[in-house]
Amino acid sequence: MNRAKKSYGKPRKATESKKLIFATRSSFAFRCLLLPSIAFLCFPLLLSAGAFSLAELDLGAGCGIMESARLEILRALAGATSVEPEFAARKIKLSDAALFDEPFLTLSCAGAPESLDYGELRALRLYLVSGGTLFVNDASGRRRSPFAEWLRRTMELVLPESGFQPVAKDHSLLKSFFLISAPGGRFNLEKEPAAMEYSGRYAVIFSRNDLVGVWPKDSIGRYVYDIPAAGQRHSGEKLTLNILIYALTGSYKQDAVHQPFIMQRLRELDAGASP
Confidence of residue 104 (pLDDT cuts 50, 70, 90): very high
The per-residue pLDDT for 50 is 61
DSSP notation for the chain: --GGGS---SPPPPPS----SGGGGTSHHHHHHH-GGGGGGGHHHHHHPPPEE-EEE---TTB---HHHHHHHHHHHHHHS---EE-S--EE-TT-GGGGG-SEEEEEESS--PPP-HHHHHHHHHHHHTT-EEEEEE-S--TT-HHHHHHHHHHHHH-TT---EEPPTTSGGGGSSS--SS---SS---SS-EEEEETTEEEEEEESS-SGGGS-B-TTS-BSS---STTHHHHHHHHHHHHHHHHHHTTGGG-TTTHHHHHHHHHHHHTT---
The per-residue pLDDT for 81 is 87
> Tens digit of pLDDT for each residue in 157-183?
999 999 999 999 899 999 989 999 887
The per-residue pLDDT for 111 is 96
> Tens digit of pLDDT for each residue in 177-189?
999 988 799 999 9
Domains of the chain: 27-216+227-270 (3.40.50.12140)
Name the percent of the chain lying above pLDDT 90.
60
β-pair partners for 106 = 56, 135
Distance CA 252, CA 274 (A): 22
Q: Which residue has the higher pLDDT, 90 or 10?
A: 90
Answer whether residue 56 shows pLDDT above 80: yes
Answer whether residue 36 shows pLDDT above 60: no
The pTM (predicted TM-score) of the whole model is 0.76
Distance CA 237, CA 90 (A): 21
The per-residue pLDDT for 267 is 65
Q: Is 21 exposed, middle or buried (0-12, 13-18, 19+ CB in 10 A)?
A: middle
Answer whether residue 202 shows pLDDT above 70: yes
Cβ distance 107 to 136 under 8 Å? yes
